[in-house]
Amino acid sequence: MRSETMTATKKISLTINGKVCAGEPGQTILEIARANDIYIPTLCYLKGLTSWGGCRLCIVEIVGSPKIVPSCATPAVDGSKIITDSPRLHGLRKATLELLFSERNHICPMCPYNKGDCGLQHQGYLHGINNVRYQYLYPAMPVDLTAKYFGIDHNRCILCGRCVRTCDEIQGVHTLDVAYRGIRNQVVVDMLKKFSESETCTSCGACVANCPTGAFFDKAAAFRGPLASCQTVLTTCTECPLGCGLKVFVKENRIVNVWGDPDSPVNRGHLCVKGRYETWAEPRERITQPLLRDKDGKLQPATWDNAIATIRKAAKAAKKTEKALLVAPRVTNETAQTITKFTGKVDRLAMYVTANEAALCSEPSFNADAMRKLEDADAIIIIGAQPSRDNGVVAARIRTTVRKREAKLLIFHARKSDLDQYANICAHEVSLEHQFWNEVAAVLEGAQKPAILYGPNAMTPIGVTVMERLIKIFEGHPGGQAPTLIGLPVGTNSLALAGAGIEAIEDVGPWLDAKPLKFLHIVASDAPDGGAGLLDEKYVSDLLNQIPCVVVQAGYRSALTDKAAVVLPATIWCEKSGTITNLEGRRLSLRPVLPVSGEAREDAAILESVFA
Amino acid sequence: MKKTIGKKVTKKTTRPAAKAAAAPAAPAKVRVATMWLSGCSGCHMSFLDLDERLVGLMKLIDILFSPIVDTKVKDMPQVDVGIVEGCVNNTDQEHELRMLRDRCKILIALGDCACTGNIPALRNQFTLKDCLARAYEQAESNRISCIPNDPLVPKLYPKARPLQEVVKVDLSIPGCPPDADTIWYALTELLAGRMPQWTEKNLRYD
């Protein structure tokens, strides 16, 4: 329903409950009623999904017609008179709801989505249902708890199909669908699989967020309190450079659930598994107080004063040429400002980025409104990026654009992913033969709004060649539009940090090895792995062993913090404030959701006390 | 079965009740019996949550038969209002419920178990044999595994049923348990001779 892009030819006008309401041609009765603050009950309707007309709660009467129609699936007709509430409609809706209640086992007291979270319950209340006139069927329904983060209890399912449409139209994977007929009708995963066996499910959890009942529920959120009773805080996901808006539900200083912020222009309410679950539903060991290595070489809790004094002593003992500061590419813009203040205090200052990302950072470029352009594109070209793995919401947009709007998809020089199956051309290894490039040119023929999504591996010689050839193809198109270039780094804030003047390095080993170091300060910040990724290379791991004083400031315990001489507790995503700059160049705010845990401090504050 | 009696007298009952509300000094109190079938007692506890309102209520009603009063009667008396918590799970409960239905004018299903089956009806998805085996033979806490088979033990039905599937119910008060406020509202409305009206403000299923 992208009415805003529709060329407004002529407005239509209809009378709903005696009120004159204006709307666009093509809008449904429900959409116009909602826009005019007229309430029509719904269960299966959800803004942003195609109308299904399944629940029959949104039925309305059209004056002069004996039929009643579902308003969510009926286009409004100019001049028609609509009645949304009458004894007849009320009676039918009530009967529909009673049938829904009697069909499966809706046992409200033991549902994790009771007390204000359930759409079915809410409609029952609105329609004054205090008993059900039909016989309860008590069917034996299965429960699938094999997914890692959520479960589905078919006892509570009303078959509204919102999960099915969400999975298909928003995440674009179409894992869920319905099987069987009549009373046996049921939501199924893939072809009658369990979630754990599903090859298509990406665990994005959008089905759970869009389920009107407790049929889909988040395991970590279940029975932690109704969401309706929680405070909500809007903040930004820092797991990838997309910067999706998060709506965090908090109760008694605990995170109850994390949903996408529907008003965020970046993700419009959708999230991937990283933002939706991994940040809070995964057990991770927090560091909550400074740790100092004792005489026996064991890390022991210490006071901040002692830890800072120890660090300063070690820093003083080292010459300037023997000191270095290494930063994770996920710190906030504000922390970056603090870091650059201390450039003169150390010999080397850099952020560690993934392979080939340094080249991406050397000319940081942001593409304003990249997500919208991606959705509008009629040809999407991926070079050297892994959106399916790294940026779930980008991958979802690609899938839906390709599958629903029939955009072309070309993948070059990327690893295998689920996107390959939708691609017109999928070249994990790029050929230089004429025939191949002629095929590429043929696929791109007539593309009016192409978008090129390039990741770090687009900066390799192969990637650059692909890019050059593509540009040549587009230049050859008479009157064709130049492609939109969207840079997709791996580091959350690496482009902005590079812009702030922090050098990006891919090979930490030679950087450490350039001159012998006596003092190394690593800002791992709230990286989920606690910075342990640095140790993957044995070269780096060995070098770290030789440095007398390695200070690590991190939110989570890891193999790296276990190696450090001093560990300083840093705040994590839900405790931070500040901003990050996403790949569209938006400065997105982080807002503290929870009070700081233990003695943790913000990255910038820690750096101030160490270096100032 | 004298099922029709309940229907006939329903209209009559509201009258003494209305009189009682209008003139509290009137000697005729509304006679009440309460019963607790397959339920957890939570609804009765919620009734007791009326707290000081109970004092005023007792000027209008007389609870003649109930698990929460010191009953002086051997047999269930004729009453105006029967209030039932819990659903019908076994032969004994059905017998008691039918008896109450015969002897009361208005039957109230109090709470989700009485209205929908609720938690006790969870077993309806399984066969009775499996349920009994799970409870008495496979349960981890069982020392001796033996399904009770004494003839005195009431027989479980294959399915737990809400009251309305067994007898005619005049008023359902949902909730697990219903709030004391909801119970108060329903009872005072009945005493005033009106049927309670259900809206989103007083309805709760959890």
How far is the alpha carbon of B170 from chain A, nearest alpha carbon, in Å? 11
The reported pLDDT for the residue numbered B25 is 53
Mean pLDDT for A559-571 is 95
Q: What are the DSSP E strand ranges found in A9-86?
A: 12-16, 19-23, 59-62, 68-70, 81-83
Instruction: List pLDDT tens digits, range B37-93.
Output: 999 999 999 999 999 999 999 999 999 999 998 876 778 899 999 999 999 999 999
Contact call for residues A108 and A114 (beta carbons, < 8 A)? yes
The reported pLDDT for the residue numbered A508 is 93
Confidence band for A484, pLDDT divided at 50, 70 and 90: very high
What fold is seen in the domain A364-487? Dimethylsulfoxide Reductase; domain 2 (3.40.228)
Q: What distance in Å separates the CA atoms of residue A453 and residue A405, rounded to the nearest whole number?
A: 18
Closest CA to A610 of A602, A334, A558: A602
The reported pLDDT for the residue numbered B1 is 40
User: 10 Å Cβ neighbour count for A438?
Assistant: 11
As annotated, the residues of chain A forming the CATH 3.40.228.10 domain(s) are: 364-487
As annotated, the residues of chain A forming the CATH 3.40.50.740 domain(s) are: 291-353+495-611
Residue by residue, DSSP assigns A501-561 as: TPEEES-HHHHHHSS--SEEEEEEET-TTTTGGGGGSHHHHHHHHH-SEEEEEESB--HHH
Does the pLDDT value for residue B180 go beyond 70? yes
Of B125, B172, B205, the CB nearest to A108: B205
Chain B positions touching chain A (beta carbons under 8 Å): 109, 112, 115-119, 121-122, 124-126, 159, 162, 164-165, 169, 172-174, 176, 197-200, 203-206
Mean pLDDT for A79-95 is 97
As annotated, the residues of chain A forming the CATH 3.10.20.740 domain(s) are: 3-85
Does domain A3-85 correspond to CATH entry 3.40.50.300?
Answer: no
Residues of A in contact with B109 (CB under 8 A): 131
* Among the ranges given (A77-86, A466-475, A479-488), the one the predictor scored with the smallest mean pLDDT: A479-488
Greater confidence (B27 vs A268) lies with A268
Mean pLDDT for B165-189 is 96
What fold is seen in the domain A291-353+495-611? Rossmann fold (3.40.50)
Residues of A in contact with B118 (CB under 8 A): 107, 109
Of A105, A109, A126, the CB nearest to B176: A109
The reported pLDDT for the residue numbered A124 is 97
**Is there a contact between A138 and B197 if contact means CB atoms under 8 Å apart?**
no
Q: What distance in Å separates the CA atoms of residue A554 and residue A287, rounded to the nearest whole number?
A: 7
Q: Nearest residue on chain A to B169, judged by CA atoms?
A: A131
The H helix count followed by the E strand count for chain A is: 20, 28
Does the pLDDT value for residue A93 go beyond 60? yes
Encoding tokens for residue A203?
């665990």
Residues of A in contact with B162 (CB under 8 A): 136
The reported pLDDT for the residue numbered B13 is 44
**Segment holding A464, helix H or strand E:** helix A461-476
Instruction: List pLDDT tens digits, range B100-154.
Output: 999 999 999 999 999 999 999 999 999 999 999 999 999 988 888 889 889 999 9
Q: What distance in Å separates the CA atoms of residue B179 and residue B189, rounded to the nearest whole number?
A: 15
User: Cα B56 vs. chain centroid, distance in angstroms?
Assistant: 22
Mean pLDDT for A559-565 is 94
Closest CA to A32 of A1, A68, A66, A67: A1
Does domain B3-119+160-191 correspond to CATH entry 3.40.50.700?
Answer: yes
Overall CATH class of domain A138-281 = alpha beta
Encoding tokens for residue A113?
């989505």
What average pLDDT does the structure give for chain B?
A: 88
**Is there a contact between B116 and A132 if contact means CB atoms under 8 Å apart?**
yes
How far is the alpha carbon of A166 from chain B, nearest alpha carbon, in Å? 28
Does the pLDDT value for residue B23 go beyond 90? no
Q: Best interface-test mutation with B: which of A101, A131, A135, A141 has the largest number of B CBs within 10 A?
A: A131
Q: What distance in Å separates the CA atoms of residue A403 and residue B32, rounded to the nearest whole number?
A: 66
**Is there a contact between B203 and A130 if contact means CB atoms under 8 Å apart?**
yes
